[in-house]
Structure 1
Amino acid sequence: MADDFLKYQAQTSPHPLAMKVSHAKGSYVYDVNNKAYLDFVAGVSACTLGHCHPKVVTAIKEQLDSYLHVMVYGEYIQEPAVELAKLLAKNLPNSLEKTYLTNSGTEAIEGALKLAKRATGRSQIISANNAYHGSTMGAMSVMGFEERKRAFRPLLPDVSYITFNNEEDLIKITKKTACVVLETIQGGAGFIEPQNHYLEKVRERCDKVGALLILDEIQPGIGRTGKLFGFEHYNCVPDILVTGKGLGGGMPIGAFTASSKLMDLLQDHPKLGHITTFGGHPVIAAAALATLKEVTKSDLIPQTLEKEQLFRKHLVHPLIVQIRGKGLMLAAMTPSADITNELILGCQDEGLILFWLLFEPKAIRITPPLTISKDEIIEGCQIILKVLDKIQKKYSSSTN
């Protein structure tokens, strides 16, 4: 199977981890030899309720028995999609009332950018250095990391960049700006939080010049930071909210949400201003609805902040120089990329799944399911410390 994986399935890197997966349940992924791996990554923040959560699986099976795809998006009334959009609105500020469902976060970004241009009649988009919003052409155009997009130019024109948390850069947002698109917490850059009321100041500047603010909550959203949405920590409500990843509970989904006034612009002039065949798919929407219900009705969100503190308490080691992030969106920083690589690969050998971040080579991604138990957190932290001790001993020997 490994040979077929490399021969027939397109790869995203020269050296994939290539674990042969048999099944997954709760906080664990199992390989074909039935070795259990404690999952501190959750499908890169996607498996909010862990693997094969019974409420999500039940929702999927029940919908399978009713109908699958029946019509392109927005034409037929399909209960799972309607109820999902309604529940999102119920849990968002009044100005975020109507949702367009897509197949992925990057597609939702594309829709949000189109909506901002349609609403303002302007062309300029402002993003942040080291930003990541997806890999389609529009989303890549607002990626703030030239090395990853140079080979695919030309991209969208009239895109400018500001530095996250740099207030002096806000003067670049002008009356020519259609929108500012920011991650609420910068993900690929190393889980960088906004500081000194930064998002409030961006919001004020956008209001002053008539630009729209798009907040990308594809990673921070759906309870991961200790609030249902990350922006709730920072007193800043966007004009357009983008979600994905964890909303699907392990199924592929994206969404962008705005006011009815804004969203209705996609209906006319031109008609079919944004269309998708499979967005809002009933099976996916059923899974997302079950996920959102469980997150909002349980105590998982407040537990997230308690679990954050447990990680911070136990991940104390000379080779961990900092832990960034909030809730269960954490990045442990080591002194070098080599140490990070050794730790991630060494932990996999020991039965713990960790992963990298896109643009910060010294960061170790820690984004477990929100359902992870405190005992599992401690178990995983002990594995990390064990591997770090081996790395430290090796580096100490080599310098003596």
Structure 2
Amino acid sequence: MKEDFLKFQAQTTPHPLGMEIDHAKGSYIFSKQGDKYLDFVAGVSACSLGHCHPRVVNAIKTQAESYLHVMVYGEYAQGPAVAFSKLLASHLPPTLSKTYLTNSGTEAIEGALKLARRATGRTQILAAKSAYHGNTMGSLSLMDFEERVKPFRPLIGDVSFIQFNDSNNLNKITSKTAAVILETIQGGAGFILPKNDYLKKVKERCQEVGALLILDEIQPGFGRTGKLFGFQHFGIVPDILVTGKGMGGGLPIGAFTASEEVMDLLSENPKLGHITTFGGNALIAAAALATLQEITESDLMAETLIKEELIRSLLVHPLISEIRGKGLMLAAITPSEDIATEVILKCQEKGLISFWLLFEKRAVRITPPLTISIDEIKEGCGIIIDVLNDINQ
């Protein structure tokens, strides 16, 4: 199968890991060769409830027997999408009441950018340096890594960059700014938390000049940080909330949420201001609804902070300078890119899946399912320590 994978399926890197998957259940992935791997990555923060969670699988099966795609987004009232959007609104501040469902996080970013320009009548977008919001043309325009964007220019115009956590940059937010878009916790940059009320200061500056604040919660969202959304730790509310990854139970989904007044601007002048065929797909919305119900009805969010403390207590080693992040969105920082890569590859040999971060090359990603058990955490952290000991000899 691996030979056909390389020959017929387009690749994203010259050397993909190429593990041949047989099945996955809970916190484990099983290969065609019969090997068992403890998953400390969760599909890059996508499988919030682990693999094939019974509640999600049952929701998918039930919906599959009823109907799948019936009409392009926004024309028919479809139960799973309506129920998900209503339940999501019940867990958000009143100003975040209406949700547009998309097929992925990057599509949700595209929609949020369009909505901000439509709502303000302005064009300028400010994004953070070292940010990652996706890889479609609009999302890619929000990235300041020239080596990654140069081959695809020209991108969308009137985008400028500010330094995350630097309040001295706030004067760049002006009456010409349509929106400031930030990751609540910077992901690819190394799981960087906002400091010194940075997000509050950005929001206040946006309010002063009439700009909108877009927060990208595609990675921190849906319980990963110990609250349903990362922004809830920092005492602010965005004007537009972007979500994805962890909301689908393992299926592809994204969304952007705003007030009813703002969101309705996409429905006229012009009509069909944002269009998708499969956004809000009934099968995927059913999985998302089951995922959201499980996260909000269980103790998983509170347990996430306990599990964070356990991981921090176990991953103490001379080759780990710090553990960044919050909840189960963590990164172990090693001395170099080479050591991080060695850790990741040797952990896989020993039955543990970890992964890289996009820009912070010294990091080892630790983003297991929220459902991971205490014993599984101890098992995985033990493997990491064993590998680090081998490297450090």
TM-score by length of 1: 0.98
1:88-118 superposed Cα distances (whole Å, 9 cap, x missing partner) = 1000000000000000000000000000000
User: Which position in structure 2 is the counterpart of 1:360?
Assistant: 360
What is the deviation of 1:144? 2.8
Distance in 1, Cα, partners of 2:148 & 2:300? 36
Aligned residue pairs total 393
Distance in 1, Cα, partners of 2:116 & 2:269? 14
User: Which position in structure 1 is the counterpart of 2:14?
Assistant: 14
User: Which position in structure 2 is the counterpart of 1:180?
Assistant: 180
1:144-170 superposed Cα distances (whole Å, 9 cap, x missing partner) = 322211111110111000000000001
Distance in 1, Cα, partners of 2:230 & 2:224? 8
Distance in 2, Cα, partners of 1:198 & 1:383? 36
What is the deviation of 1:300? 0.1
1:277-316 superposed Cα distances (whole Å, 9 cap, x missing partner) = 0000000000000000000000000000000000000000
User: Which position in structure 2 is the counterpart of 1:226?
Assistant: 226
- The amino acid of 2:76's aligned partner reads Y
What is the deviation of 1:24? 0.1
- The amino acid of 1:3's aligned partner reads E
Q: SS of 1:242's equivalent?
A: strand
What is the deviation of 1:32? 0.6
- The amino acid of 1:135's aligned partner reads N
1:156-210 superposed Cα distances (whole Å, 9 cap, x missing partner) = 1110000000000010000000000000000000000000000000000000000
What is the deviation of 1:23? 0.2
Is 1:134 the counterpart of 2:134? The answer is yes
User: Which position in structure 1 is the counterpart of 2:76?
Assistant: 76
- The amino acid of 2:274's aligned partner reads H
What is the deviation of 1:369? 0.1
Q: SS of 1:382's equivalent?
A: helix
- The amino acid of 1:198's aligned partner reads Y
Distance in 2, Cα, partners of 1:17 & 1:33? 15
- The amino acid of 2:123's aligned partner reads S
- The amino acid of 2:206's aligned partner reads C
Distance in 1, Cα, partners of 2:357 & 2:141? 19
What is the deviation of 1:352? 0.1
Distance in 1, Cα, partners of 2:336 & 2:277? 45
User: Which position in structure 2 is the counterpart of 1:350?
Assistant: 350
User: Which position in structure 1 is the counterpart of 2:198?
Assistant: 198
Distance in 2, Cα, partners of 1:143 & 1:283? 32
What is the deviation of 1:320? 0.6
User: Which position in structure 1 is the counterpart of 2:157?
Assistant: 157
Tell me if structure 2 keeps the 8 A contact 1:132–1:144.
no
User: Which position in structure 2 is the counterpart of 1:341?
Assistant: 341
Distance in 1, Cα, partners of 2:34 & 2:231? 40
Q: How does 1:36-75 map to 2 (within 5 A)?
A: 36-75=36-75
User: Which position in structure 1 is the counterpart of 2:314?
Assistant: 314
User: Which position in structure 2 is the counterpart of 1:375?
Assistant: 375
What is the deviation of 1:53? 0.1
Distance in 2, Cα, partners of 1:271 & 1:77? 18
Is 1:217 the counterpart of 2:220? The answer is no
Distance in 1, Cα, partners of 2:261 & 2:23? 45
- The amino acid of 1:95's aligned partner reads T
Distance in 1, Cα, partners of 2:34 & 2:287? 27
User: Which position in structure 2 is the counterpart of 1:272?
Assistant: 272
Is 1:330 the counterpart of 2:363? The answer is no
Distance in 1, Cα, partners of 2:246 & 2:264? 26
1:114-157 superposed Cα distances (whole Å, 9 cap, x missing partner) = 00000001000000000000000000001232221111111011
1:12-50 superposed Cα distances (whole Å, 9 cap, x missing partner) = 001101000000000000001221100000000000000
1:323-367 superposed Cα distances (whole Å, 9 cap, x missing partner) = 000000000000000000000000000000000000010011000
Distance in 2, Cα, partners of 1:225 & 1:115? 27
User: Which position in structure 2 is the counterpart of 1:105?
Assistant: 105
- The amino acid of 1:97's aligned partner reads S
Point out where structure 1 has 5 or more consecutive residues left out of the alignment: 394-400
1:370-389 superposed Cα distances (whole Å, 9 cap, x missing partner) = 00000000000000001111
Distance in 1, Cα, partners of 2:150 & 2:325? 29
TM-score by length of 2: 1.00
Distance in 2, Cα, partners of 1:201 & 1:360? 26
What is the deviation of 1:2? 1.1
Distance in 2, Cα, partners of 1:56 & 1:352? 24
Distance in 1, Cα, partners of 2:140 & 2:168? 25
Distance in 1, Cα, partners of 2:188 & 2:304? 21
Tell me if structure 2 keeps the 8 A contact 1:84–1:289.
yes
Identity in percent: 71
Distance in 1, Cα, partners of 2:318 & 2:387? 12
What CA RMSD, in Å, does the superposition of the two structures yield over aligned residues? 0.4
